[in-house]
Amino acid sequence: MLNHMLVAVNAVLPSFLIIALGLFIRRRGKLDDKSLGKFNSIAFRVFLPFQIFKNVYDAPIGETFDLKLIVFVALGLLVAGGLALLTAVLTEPRPDRRGVMAQGMFRGNYVLLGLPLIESLFGTAGVGLASLMIAVNIPIYNVLSVIFLELYAGGEIDARKMLKDIAANPLIDATLAGLLAKAVHLPVYAVPAFASALKSLGAVATPLCLFILGASFVPSGVAGYARSLWITVFAKLVAIPGLALAAAAALGIRGVALGVVLLSFGAPTAVNSYTMARELGGDAELAAGIVVVDTALSCLSLFGWIVLLRSLGLM
């Protein structure tokens, strides 16, 4: 059991060190809100799209295929998104926080934390199946997140504007481009220089978002949104993964596939959810708080889920 705890801690700790660096630099007065806004925009419109394109393009769709798992995760995320939005609407009166809460409850940090955990738990044999789910998770995460945030941007619902903004969202465009490039077998890596540049640009995204998150996080402001924060954290780490795992187990999903379900639904809220919330007019402070607290507590929640599933002989 100690080994499972160390795996969870080692997956989360590097992220926290980068967050802490951002917080430290901000406290030293080296960054202001204007600078952070520019950095956030660059991360959202440049580096994250490259990262998402590469992740989707690299997903081994033709090599490892589990239709039952794909259908379960896809439908499960849609249901989880619906439950998240309903919970946010019923518990939060402020429109700019509803979309942030809904996004925080279902959107997981699958690539950054999910894949390393799967490899630690199952070895390289589990990586193929886990990587396949990137092509399922990322499009659903991105599309629903944009819908939730746009739905409550400014407190008014403009269906035409929302659809236009969804179509113009760089993360969704990158997802679609990755799927299209893979479908037509575009030789993205044929030119070594281009392949190296793509890899480098994508690698910038996560540490940059973590740094911006740390620099934007205001610990003293947590009291102003504590209720919304803890509702979101409980849903993300306990309620939603609990429902998903129970349903998956009842359907006979076991082993690596069940581990993929755990990480698809139980990984802490994605770092780029903060970047997107800030860019699309959501409550950025709440979004930052959700990511920071979720990431910290995920060491305990993931350890608990792993121990429970293994003790039951399901994973």
Provide the whole-model pTM: 0.80
Q: What's the confidence (pLDDT) of residue 155?
A: 52
The number of domains in the chain is 1
Single-letter code of the amino acid located at 20 = A
What pLDDT score was predicted for residue 8? Answer: 63
pLDDT, tens digit only, all 315 positions of the chain? 666 667 667 766 787 788 889 889 988 887 887 888 788 788 888 888 898 888 778 876 665 668 899 999 999 999 999 999 999 999 999 988 999 999 999 998 887 777 777 877 787 667 777 777 877 888 889 888 888 988 887 655 566 766 776 777 787 788 888 889 988 989 999 989 989 999 898 888 878 888 887 887 777 667 788 999 999 999 999 999 999 999 999 999 999 899 999 999 998 898 788 888 888 888 988 998 998 898 888 878 988 898 888 888 898
Torsion angles phi and psi, residue 106, rounded to 5:
-120, -20
First to last CA, the chain: 14
Asked if residue 188 lies in contact with residue 195, where contact means CB atoms within 8 angstroms, the answer is yes
- The strand pairing partners of 108, in sequence order, are 269
- pLDDT value of position 154: 61
Residue 304, domain extent = 2-311
CATH number, domain containing residue 245: 1.20.1530.20
Residue type at position 2: L
| 270: DSSP letter | P
Structure tokens belonging to residue 14:
């590097």
Asked whether the beta carbons of 179 and 307 are under 8 A apart, the reply is: no
Distance in angstroms (rounded) separating the CA atoms of residues 196 and 186: 16
Do residues 21 and 27 lie in contact, with contact meaning Cβ atoms separated by under 8 Å? no
What is the helix (H) or strand (E) element at residue 207, kind and residue range? Answer: helix 192-216
Number of H helices, E strands in the chain: 16, 0
**Vertex 163 angle, CA 161 and 165, to 5°:** 65
